[in-house]
Structure formats: C-alpha cells, structure tokens
Amino acid sequence: MAIITLFSGCDDPGMVDTRKSDGKAWTELLDSAAWRISSDPAAATRFADAALKIAASGRLPDTAIFRPLELKAEAMWNMRKKDSALHLLDSARTLANDLDESALLARLMLKTGKWRHDLSDLSLAEKHVGDAIRLYKKFKRDKEYASSLQELGEICRHKGDFIRSQKSILESIGILEKYKDYKQLGNAYLDVGNIFKDIGNAKDANTYYRKGLDALGKLGDSSQLVPALRLLGLMKRKIEPDSAIYYYSIANRFDPDKKNPASYIMGLYNTANIYLDRNEFDKARSLFDSVYAFCKKENMYGGMARVLNAYGILAMANGDDVLAEKTFTKAIELADSIGEKDLAALLMQSKVEFYESKGRLASALALERVSRKLRDSLVSAEGKLEILRMEKEFQSEKKEMDNAGLRMENARLIAYGRLRSTLVWLSIMVSIVMSLLLYYTRRLQKEKSLAYEALMQRYQNERDFRQSDAEASKTTEIIQKRYFIKRDEQELLNALLDLFEQKKPYLDSQLKISDVAEILNTTTRNVTNALKGYKASKFSEFVNIFRVDEAKRLMENPQYANMTIEAIARDAGFGTKQSFYNTFETITGVKPSHYRTHILITV
C-alpha cells in the first residue's frame, strides 16, 4: 500500500518500545498523540508518524492506518497547516473508499465537511456532510447521523437557508433526546437559538438558549455551560445590560482556564461595550486593554481594529478630538490592510458620527460616500463570486448531459449494428426509446440554460435593488415578515394593516388594543395572536412602527422644517417626548435629531 509508505516517515528513535507487541505499541502511541493534540501538536504529529510506521509494517490490519492519519491531520490543523491537513484527510478518505470501509468513510466525510465549513467553503462542506448523512442513515448509526444533521444545519444557516437549517437541527434534536446525549443535545438547542437570533426572533432565541443551558447543566460540569451563558449575554446586551454583564461574569468564572479563548475574549469585548454604552469609561477602558493585548498576542488584527475604534469613542467622550480622529483613522487603516473591507466600512460609521458631532458635515458626507461605495463594491464582489460558482456548476452539468447524450447515441448505433439482421423491429424500438431519451435530455439541458439565465437576471435585479436608497423602509414588508402563521390570523393581520394605513388610528396617543379589536369586530386575544412571529410581536411595537414612519414623513416634509421634534412627536401619536426618543432610536438605530440632520443634508 503506497499511501501507507507515503505518510509513515518517522525517524524519532526511542518513541517505540520494541519489546512490546506491535498492537500495544501502536495503541500507546495513539494515546500519546491524542493527549498532545491541542497542547503540543508538533509532538502529536511525531507520535502519529510513529504509529503510521507500525501500521506500514504489515503486521496490523489495513484499517490500523486510519486513526494515526486522522490524529496527524488534526495536529496539522491545530498548527494552522490547514491545506496540508485537508490533503491528508482527503487521502484517508480515498483509502477508506478503496477498502470499502463505509463507516470510516462516513466519519472522515463528516470531519472534512466540518473543516471545509471552518474555511467558509460552504458548497464543498455541504457535499461532504451530505455524503456522511447518507452513509450513517444507511447503516442506522443514529447518533452519528444526528451529528451530521446538526453540522448540515449549521452550514445551511451560514448560507442563509434558515428553513432547511432549522429542519435539519430539529431532526437531530429528536434523535438526541431519545439517547439523552445532553452535551450534543445542548449544543443543538444553542444552534436553533442562533437561527432565531439571525432572523430577529429574540424571544424564541432566548427560549432555545435556555433549553441548551438546562441540557448542558445535566452534565455536572460547569465549564460546559459557558457557550450558553455567553449567548444569553449577547442577547441581553441591548435590552438588559445588567443581565448581560451577569451572564458574562458567570461564564468567565466557569471558564478560568480559557478553554475557548476566542469565546472568552468576545465576552470581555461585549462587556466592555456595555460599560461604554453606560458611560462607565474606566471599566470599559480596562476591559478593552485586556482584549487588545489578547488580540495582539494571537495576531487577531480584526479584533485589534474593533478595539481601536472603541478607543476612539473613549477619546471623544474625554474631549480629546485629535486623538479620537487619529484612532478612528488607524482602526480603519488596520481593517483595510488585512483585507477586511466590510469591517472597514463598518468602522467608518464611527468616524462619520464623530465628524457630524463636530459640525464637520462636509467631511462626514465625503466619508459616508466612501463607505457606501465600499459596501457596494463588496456586494458586487460577492455577486461575481456567486456568478462564477453558478456558471461552473452549469458548465459541469452541461458537459455531463452532453456526454450522456453521446453515450446513448453510441449505444443505439452499436445495438442496431449487432441486431440488424435478426432483431429489426427490436432495434427500431430501441432507437425510438434512445431518441426520446436524447430529446428529453436536450430539453432538460435547455431548461437548465433558461434557469441559469433567470438566475443571472435575478442577481442583476437584486444588485440594482441594493444600490437604491438603503434607508427607504416599507412598513408593510416589516410587519409582514413572519414565520408560521395561520390563514385566519393572516386575514386578521391584513385587515389590521388596512385599518392602520387608511384610517391612521395610531395618531391617537391613547389608542389601546381593545379599541382596535372593537373596530375589527374581534377580540384582543385574536389581534395578539395575529402579531405572533413578527418583528413587531407586541401591539405597542406594531403601533410604534407606524408612528415612527409618520414622524419620519413629517421631518422629511419641508413644511414642517421649523416645527420642533417634540411637536412632530405629538402629531405622530406619541404621548411623551421620552417615549418618542426611545422608540425612534430602537427602530431606526439613530436619534431623531441625527435623522433629521441627515435628511436635511441629503436634500
């Protein structure tokens, strides 16, 4: 077996005790490699090589090569030699396929898929994980099947296919609940929570995060609770900052050895931002210093750029405008130098706000144009990559269909030549069948071509739409973005939307849900149920969306240019000034005065 010889070069004398049997020495070497896989991957590689040398001797079964190959690949992955690790794992998969070791092949497929996922190679990751799912399902390996489904769900989530992602992970949860595998079950609950977080459903996200916390709590190991605690802290950061700090502090206490340093430092960063939002600058500065030191040590330049941006905000708060501008510029340049264009565009917004706060509106407008151009170029680049990927798939399918048609045509001619003298009628029938198959194959090819052109047109339309006014909002689309709603509730929601758009009852600051229910001849409970699953899941949020849109229309109207913001708030239906300010900033992300200034500049 040439592949064994290829990966078995070990010249480390003394690692193998020749007095022991090959099997026992092989086992001890693997245990040593597994023990050092994280702490000393270079040593783990040497032990794995020694085990490979024993496997290459031919005195052990052929399958003895796989475990040391996997361990060596994992060690190389931890040493950040990711291309070499994947090459090694691909070789192991080829060997497993040649030896018809389906169970081993499935395990290697799943691991390859996970690594491809980490490298953001989502298409290839989905293919490998899908192969693992089919093999595990065929051999009825339920727990491994559940793990593969969970990984597929995560891949689909990062591709934006939330429905398929949720379906895959929920199926894995059903299997894991039967086996009471609380560690994997808890992580699956957290994955579902992440899906709801991505689609803006904070309520259900919190529900599944708590389910994950409960499941992981049954393991009796407090360090296992850390991921769930940090996710809960992230969800609470904006709405309940005190609760967020509590969750982060508990997580850090349960993870004193920093088994997951990236998660630990993210918790510190989010906690620092909470203190920054609350103007507790000394506490924020101390935590940001810790985050910056960690990121610098680990060469995490994106994290360093984010902390520099925070330093700029702190400098603004201290009145040091020169330092603030210098720090903002340094953060943007660092993000740009590492190719993080999206991060650079994001950090530019802090500098834009700095310019606006200092009345340097021309500079703010110029930087905002640079930021928007950068974002547009990112969208364009992503679109080009998607086009190239689709075109590659299309050309591959087209080539395969052409080859299939050619093979069928050759088969028809050969069959006709051999059977012409004795099976004339049968040959005619075969020719007809083959011709029909060829016809439908070409028809399918044509449909594929039309579908491809439609995809290109859809991409063009989407890009044109993104380049239009990004700040335009459509109340109906916001309200109608839903997940799971019954038909009668949809009809009630449509009636509710018509009422608010035509009659504008929200202009009454004393409007109650009972008033609306009476107008629609229904109950308050039915109105509440109709709003479930929406971003505006509460009646008050629903009403405030319309009031904020009304306020924006008034601020954009030149006839109201001399009217105060408080007067506009009253005309839009808000009862108090503070309620208007809080609601406007929650929905739009900016203060009313900032929004009004931006509109005037644009006009």
The mean per-residue pLDDT over the stretch 506-525 comes to: 89
Residue 16 has pLDDT above 50, yes or no: no
Residue 409 has pLDDT above 80, yes or no: no
Find the length of the chain: 603
For the chain, first and last CA: distance in Å? 75
Q: With beta carbons less than 8 A apart as the criterion, state whether 378 and 345 touch.
A: yes
Q: Which two tokens stand for residue 301?
A: 């330049």
283/276 Cα distance (integer angstroms):
8
Q: Residue 4: pLDDT band by 50, 70, 90 thresholds?
A: very low
DSSP state of 62: G
Helix (H, G, I), strand (E, B) or coil at 247: helix
Q: What are phi and psi of 340, to 5 degrees?
A: -85, 75
- Each residue of 378-389: pLDDT tens digit? 655 444 445 455
Q: How would you class 62 by CB atoms within 10 Å of its CB: exposed for 0-12, middle for 13-18, buried for 19 or more?
A: middle
Q: Which two tokens stand for residue 461?
A: 């339309």
CB-based contacts of 435, cutoff 8 Å, min separation 6 = 412
Q: Which two tokens stand for residue 77?
A: 């992955």
Find the range with the poorest average confidence among 53-57, 406-410, 502-506, 517-521: 406-410
Q: Residue 448: pLDDT band by 50, 70, 90 thresholds?
A: low
CB-based contacts of 375, cutoff 8 Å, min separation 6 = 342, 345
Average pLDDT across the chain, whole number: 77
| pTM (2 d.p.) | 0.51
Quote the strand ranges of 404-479, DSSP E.
none
What is the maximal distance between C-alpha atoms in the chain?
100
The mean per-residue pLDDT over the stretch 30-55 comes to: 87
Tell me which of 1.25.40.10, 1.10.3720.10, 3.40.50.300, 1.10.10.60 is the CATH number of domain 480-602: 1.10.10.60
Find the range with the poorest average confidence among 178-192, 260-274, 401-415, 546-560: 401-415
145/152 Cα distance (integer angstroms):
11
Q: Residue 106: pLDDT band by 50, 70, 90 thresholds?
A: confident
User: Which of 6, 20, 21, 90 has its CA nearest to residue 56?
Assistant: 6
Q: Residue 536: pLDDT band by 50, 70, 90 thresholds?
A: low
Residue 433 has pLDDT above 80, yes or no: yes
Residue 419: what pLDDT? 64
Residue 415: what pLDDT? 58
Residue 123 has pLDDT above 50, yes or no: yes
Q: Count CB-CB contacts under 10 A for residue 197.
A: 18
Helix intervals (H) in 255-300: 261-277, 281-297
Find the range with the poorest average confidence among 156-165, 238-247, 411-420: 411-420
59/418 Cα distance (integer angstroms):
52
Angle 532-536-540 (CA atoms, 0-180°, nearest 5)?
A: 105
Higher pLDDT, 229 or 470: 229
Q: Count CB-CB contacts under 10 A for residue 519.
A: 13
Q: Count CB-CB contacts under 10 A for residue 253.
A: 11
Residue 603 has pLDDT above 80, yes or no: no
Find the range with the poorest average confidence among 123-127, 195-199, 332-336, 426-430: 426-430
Scan for tokens 């070990």, then name that residue.
10
207/192 Cα distance (integer angstroms):
10
Residue 180 has pLDDT above 60, yes or no: yes
The mean per-residue pLDDT over the stretch 560-578 comes to: 87
Is the Cα torsion angle 280, 283, 289, 294 positive or negative in sign?
A: negative
Burial 8-25 (b: 16+ CB within 10 A, else e): bebeeeebbeeeeebeeb
The mean per-residue pLDDT over the stretch 171-189 comes to: 85
Residue 237 has pLDDT above 80, yes or no: no
Burial 76-87 (b: 16+ CB within 10 A, else e): bbbeebeeebbe
Residue 203 has pLDDT above 80, yes or no: yes
Higher pLDDT, 178 or 487: 178
Find the range with the poorest average confidence among 15-24, 226-235, 506-515: 15-24
Higher pLDDT, 463 or 519: 519
Q: With beta carbons less than 8 A apart as the criterion, state whether 247 and 232 touch.
A: yes
Q: With beta carbons less than 8 A apart as the criterion, state whether 542 and 506 touch.
A: no
- Each residue of 470-483: pLDDT tens digit? 333 333 343 344 33
Scan for tokens 């309520």, then name that residue.
203
The mean per-residue pLDDT over the stretch 362-375 comes to: 82
Q: Residue 355: pLDDT band by 50, 70, 90 thresholds?
A: confident
Residue 174: what pLDDT? 87
Q: With beta carbons less than 8 A apart as the criterion, state whether 284 and 277 touch.
A: no
Share of residues in the chain with pLDDT > 70 (%)? 78
Residue 523: what pLDDT? 92
324/322 Cα distance (integer angstroms):
5
So where are the chain's domains?
1-100, 383-466, 480-602
CB-based contacts of 174, cutoff 8 Å, min separation 6 = none
66/1 Cα distance (integer angstroms):
13
Q: With beta carbons less than 8 A apart as the criterion, state whether 182 and 215 touch.
A: yes
Angle 102-104-106 (CA atoms, 0-180°, nearest 5)?
A: 70
Residue 429: what pLDDT? 77
Higher pLDDT, 247 or 514: 514
Find the range with the poorest average confidence among 110-114, 188-192, 413-417: 413-417
Q: How would you class 164 by CB atoms within 10 Å of its CB: exposed for 0-12, middle for 13-18, buried for 19 or more?
A: middle
Higher pLDDT, 323 or 393: 323
Helix (H, G, I), strand (E, B) or coil at 436: helix
175/251 Cα distance (integer angstroms):
29
The mean per-residue pLDDT over the stretch 51-69 comes to: 83
Residue 241: what pLDDT? 78
